[in-house]
Amino acid sequence: MGIPNSEGWIELFDGDTLDGWVHMNGSHSYTVENGAIVGRTVAGSQNSFLCSLQEFDDFEFEVETTVDDITNQGIQFRSSVRPVTERDNHNWRAGRVWGPQLEIRRNMGAGKITTGVLYGEALGTGWLSTEEKKADSHDFFISEGWNKLRIVAEGPRMRTWVNGHLIEDMIREDVYKTHPKGFIGLQIHGIDGERQFVMKWRNIRIREL
């Protein structure tokens, strides 16, 4: 991990190991199986993140992913961990992963698919995408197969695509001010129930702009 090819792409996942990644927060599990990173939930765990050791500022990012029904995951970018001195009304602990996140889920109730919208993980902002954007359901996400997601971050502008379709295009100076650079993180959301959920990622690459 770390050497760009002739087109500038860096392979963040070698297909065999988790070299170049570190597990942060929670107790969900990450393994490598059949050329993919496989995440499995653990009941009662808080959000978990498998984070790249490399950090990036302006970039183009691509990944293929699947997600089990009901639960959700996300792709953190330009993310970091909250510092020891951080204090706020949300009581997020030091070391908590925070930063912008591309949301991935098969549905959000009433058949709404929100994959591709943006959320502020532990930022105190809630959703970065508007309520209108969240309500604008699309059918670009394949429920029972692999989906190709793309993120382009250039300064305060953040854009996302799902299977080639542009979903979000926003400028957030406030988010860029606090998170101009950071790691990529594969998030598994916290879960209370006993049922185990599974999600997968493969062909993870990034190109600095």
Provide the pLDDT for residue 82: 87
- Beta bridge partner(s), residue 186: 50, 75
**Residue 31, SS3?**
strand
Residue 2 falls within a domain, yes or no?
Answer: no
Instruction: CATH number of the domain at 29, please.
Output: 2.60.120.560
Backbone angles phi, psi at 11, to 5 degrees: -80, 115
Task: Confirm whether 88 is domain-assigned.
Answer: no
106 in a domain, yes or no? yes
Q: Is residue 57 part of a domain?
A: yes
Residue 86 phi, psi dihedral angles, 5° rounding = -70, 130
Give me the domain span that covers residue 17.
Answer: 10-83+95-208
Q: Which of 37, 20, 36 is nearest to 28 (CA)?
A: 37
Q: Is the pLDDT of residue 87 over 80?
A: no
At 136, is the secondary structure helix, strand, or coil? coil
Nearest to 154 by CA among 77, 80, 209, 75: 209
**CA-CA distance, 207 to 179, in Å (whole number)?**
18
147: confidence class by pLDDT, cuts 50, 70, 90: very high
User: Which of 85, 126, 82 lies closest to 103, judged by CA?
Assistant: 126
Task: Let me know how many helices (H) and strands (E) the chain has, helices first.
Answer: 2, 15
Q: Kindly state whether residue 100 falls inside one of the protein's structural domains.
A: yes
Task: Extract the tokens encoding 100.
Answer: 């912008």
159 compared with 142, residue with greater pLDDT: 159
Question: Picking from 64-68, 175-179, 201-205, which range would have the lowest pLDDT averaged per residue?
Answer: 64-68
Is 200 domain-assigned?
A: yes
Q: Is the pLDDT of residue 27 over 80?
A: yes
Of 54-63, 160-169, 189-198, the poorest mean pLDDT is in 189-198
Question: What pTM does this model have?
Answer: 0.91
Q: Please give the mean pLDDT across all residues of the chain.
A: 89
Q: Has residue 52 been placed in a domain? A: yes
Instruction: Determine what percent of the chain is predicted with pLDDT higher than 90.
Output: 64
Q: Examine the pLDDT at 22 and tell me if it is beyond 70.
A: yes
Identity of the highest mean pLDDT range in 26-40, 73-87, 104-118: 26-40
How many independent structural domains does the chain possess? 1
Q: What is residue 167's predicted lDDT score, i.e. its pLDDT?
A: 93
